[in-house]
Chain A
């Protein structure tokens, strides 16, 4: 079945630094979403992409459907960025969404 490989599984960043998260897809996906899950369990929508690149503040995401991957870049990390980040991909029309395993991000002062 469809699979999503997310990396890294865990990441520690000092405040003010940045890094990238990546999701690789084993089949062609039509779109991808990125979420941040906070300590209460709430899923916060970060990006939805059917193609290309989107930027929002210190976050930027790219989806390359031909090469089957998506990335989420975080720059100038802040303490409130800590949490678990998930990518989720789907093929339009079959209503099935597949989530990556998540990246546990800890931002340290």
Chain B
């Protein structure tokens, strides 16, 4: 069975500090991977997607970057957090043209 794990579960960070969020998918080979951001009370906005190791495409620019160092790992990061980065970050996987499955999410508060 496929499992998707996100870490950390929650973070409280200061404006201007760096950030690294992680996502790992087990039980699926070469999945498509996605990062989403959700403001409190808002909808989901796709940020990045990756169809293979080492390749990441940006969908929306939010002063964030993403990397896929391994087939089963997707990292979201920034060197300087902004207040507007607060929210809920969700990682998802899919196979080509098929439904997405989401991880449990990371709740980020920037103060």
Instruction: Please tell me if the beta carbons of A99 and B88 are within 8 angstroms of each other in the complex.
Output: no
Inter-chain residue pair count (beta carbon < 8 A): 50
* Interface: A12 (CB within 8 A): no
Instruction: Please tell me if the beta carbons of B96 and A92 are within 8 angstroms of each other in the complex.
Output: yes
Interface string of A18-40 (1 = CB under 8 A from B): 00000000000011010100001
How big is chain B's contact interface, by range?
20 to 34
* Interface: A57 (CB within 8 A): no
Instruction: Please tell me if the beta carbons of A88 and B44 are within 8 angstroms of each other in the complex.
Output: yes
Instruction: Please tell me if the beta carbons of A48 and B99 are within 8 angstroms of each other in the complex.
Output: yes
Interface string of A57-79 (1 = CB under 8 A from B): 00000000000000000000000
Instruction: Please tell me if the beta carbons of A41 and B100 are within 8 angstroms of each other in the complex.
Output: no
Instruction: Please tell me if the beta carbons of B99 and A95 are within 8 angstroms of each other in the complex.
Output: no
Secondary structure of the B contact surface, majority rule: strand
Q: How many A residues, CB 8 Å from partner?
A: 22
Instruction: Please tell me if the beta carbons of A96 and B59 are within 8 angstroms of each other in the complex.
Output: yes
Give the residues in chain A near B100, CB-CB below 8 Å: 33, 88, 97
Give the residues in chain A near B105, CB-CB below 8 Å: 41-42
Q: How far is the CA of A22 from the CA of B104 in the complex (A)?
A: 26
Residues of A within 8 A of B (CB): 30-31, 33, 35, 40-43, 45, 48, 86, 88, 92-93, 95-102
9 nearest A-B pairs in the assembled complex, by CB-CB distance? A48-B99, A92-B97, A43-B102, A99-B44, A95-B49, A99-B43, A41-B105, A101-B43, A97-B46
